[in-house]
Each structure stands twice: as C-alpha cells, then as structure tokens.
C-alpha cells in the first residue's frame, strides 16, 4: 500500500515538473530569442523522464504530456503528440536496454530535439507557414536547448527515487 502512494507522489511530481517546464518555456522563454531561435525545453524534459522510468511508463507520460501541450494551444501541439511520444518511447527503450546513465540521456535529448523540431520545421515548410528560417536554425535551437538536460535529468532522477 505504501509503495502505491510513493508511485502516485512520483507521478504527481513529474506532472508538476512538466507544468513548470511548460510555464517556463511559454512565459519566460516565449518571446526571448537567443541567436534568433527560441529554446525548446519540453522534449528534453520528456526524454529525461522516459530515460529514468522506462519506455512503457515514459511513453505513456509523454503521450499525456504532449496532449496537454496540444490542449494548451501550442503551435506545434498536434505534431508534438506523435513526435514526443515516439521520442519518449525510444529514449526509454534505449536507456532500459543499455544504460540509464547521465550521458546517454544527453545524446537522446539532442536526438529528440532534432526529431521534434525537424518535423515541426518540415511541416511548417510544407504548409507554407515557415517564416523563411533555414533548417540550420533547428540545429542551433537543439544546441542551445540541450544544456537544460543536466538540470532535467537530475530532477527526474531525484523524483524517480521517490517512487522507488
């Protein structure tokens, strides 16, 4: 019975961390541009959570989080449901098969940023909504956003210990 409460508290803390990250990305970094690009923190957080909890639970968390992101009115919300879920399942599977260490989560966070933002870029270009930005900005955005991985990984690992 006590283990069930610990797991519930862990998932509530992950949800609060996601909501705070969503608030940070939209309210604090929503209008701020670094070298012409915005930071993307949500894919990094979701990959770190999936790396800690595994591919099944992490994939489900990513699916629910992406749906909440979509319901918040984000411009890339509908695409995020697919890309963030795939990134979460892939990161959780890779970390459960190989290593749940610090640096594999870095590489997986970078790949998730490239996948998600690349699909968003190509979809906007296909629909004619791209603002003329080159694809190299996706790479720049990934490079600028990936340092947040250290903070998110340590937070996700600390929260994961609550449910263990």
In the chain, what are the domain boundaries?
Answer: 2-162
Instruction: Give the pLDDT of residue 17.
Output: 94
Instruction: Give the pLDDT of residue 11.
Output: 92
Q: What confidence tier does 130 reach under pLDDT thresholds 50, 70, 90?
A: low
Distances in whole angstroms, Cα of residue 115 to Cα of each of 11, 21, 28, 43: 26, 19, 24, 10
Looking at CATH, the fold of the domain delimited by 2-162 is given as Arp2/3 complex 21 kDa subunit ARPC3 (1.10.1760)
Instruction: Give the pLDDT of residue 60.
Output: 92
pTM: predicted TM-score of the whole model, two decimal places: 0.86
Rounded distance between C-alpha atoms, residue 59 and residue 77, angstroms:
17
pLDDT average, residue stretch 47-62: 88
pLDDT average, residue stretch 94-108: 74
């Amino acid at each position: 019975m006590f283990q069930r409460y610990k797991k519930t508290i862990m998932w509530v803390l992950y949800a609060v961390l996601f909501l705070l990250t969503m608030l940070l990305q939209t309210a604090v970094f929503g209008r701020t541009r670094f070298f012409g690009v915005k930071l993307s923190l949500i894919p990094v957080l979701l990959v770190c959570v999936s790396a800690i909890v595994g591919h099944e639970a992490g994939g489900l968390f990513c699916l629910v989080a992406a749906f909440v992101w979509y319901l918040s009115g984000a411009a890339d919300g509908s695409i995020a449901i697919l890309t963030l879920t795939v990134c979460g399942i892939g990161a959780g599977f890779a970390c459960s098969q190989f290593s749940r260490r610090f640096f594999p989560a870095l590489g997986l966070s970078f790949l998730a940023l490239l996948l998600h933002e690349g699909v968003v870029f190509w979809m906007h270009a296909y629909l004619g909504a791209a603002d003329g930005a080159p694809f190299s900005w996706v790479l720049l955005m990934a490079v600028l956003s990936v340092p947040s991985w250290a903070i998110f990984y340590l937070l996700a690992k600390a929260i994961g210990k609550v449910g263990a």
